[in-house]
């Protein structure tokens, strides 16, 4: 059996997720400290001070920059890492299904599922209930090298959520 993912992959993405959280919460801490400092300066200004509008402008600009940063940072790289972590955690726990199929073809069109890019590998599987073959589309992560199959080769595939985790040539 040839595994596509190993424990090393899970530990690496877990470390990367932790690093991204530390970076975000560090920036959040700097923002909170800056906000508290600006509010203290604001409250200690004399009544009807001409400097109040500058202080308000700085506070609004700082809040806008932090909100934009949060949407971009948490919406693109952190979301992708979190989804990849969830998938690898499921793979690590061993929740996968095994089926036997006949390799049909590769599809090199990129498909994005949960922020992760996949290519498709098609297998023909026999349905005992309908007494017929059907085509099964299995996703292969683009960050991993595509396994080399020949058309018609019988392969036992292990999938997690329709994502190829391991395979065994028969």
Mean pLDDT of the chain: 88
pLDDT at 40 > cutoff 80: yes
Per-residue model confidence (pLDDT) at position 30:
95
156: Cβ–Cβ under 8 A, 6 or more apart, which residues? 98, 99, 100, 167, 168, 169, 170
pLDDT at 28 > cutoff 90: yes
pLDDT at 58 > cutoff 80: yes
User: Which among 90, 92, 75, 81 has a CA at the least distance from the CA of 116?
Assistant: 81
Rounded alpha-carbon distances, angstroms, from residue 120 to 92, 105, 127, 162: 22, 9, 21, 10
The first and second tokens of residue 131, run together, are: 């007494």
pTM of the predicted model, to two decimals?
0.74
The CA distance from 95 to 11, in Å, is: 18
């Amino acid at each position: 059996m040839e595994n596509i993912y190993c424990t090393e992959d899970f530990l690496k993405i877990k470390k990367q997720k932790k690093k991204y959280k530390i970076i975000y919460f560090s920036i959040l801490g700097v923002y909170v400290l800056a906000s508290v400092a600006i509010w203290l300066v604001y409250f200690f200004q004399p009544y009807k001070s001409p400097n109040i509008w500058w202080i308000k402008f700085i506070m609004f600009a700082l809040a806008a920059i932090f909100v934009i940063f949060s949407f971009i940072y948490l919406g693109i790289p952190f979301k992708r890492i979190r989804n990849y972590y969830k998938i690898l955690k499921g793979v690590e726990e061993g929740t996968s299904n095994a089926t036997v199929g006949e390799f049909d073809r590769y599809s090199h069109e990129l498909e994005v599922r949960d922020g992760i890019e996949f290519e498709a590998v098609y297998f023909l599987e026999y349905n005992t209930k309908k007494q017929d073959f059907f085509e099964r589309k299995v996703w292969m992560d683009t960050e991993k090298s595509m396994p080399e199959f020949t058309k018609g080769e019988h392969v036992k595939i292990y999938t997690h959520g329709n994502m190829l985790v391991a395979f065994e040539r028969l």
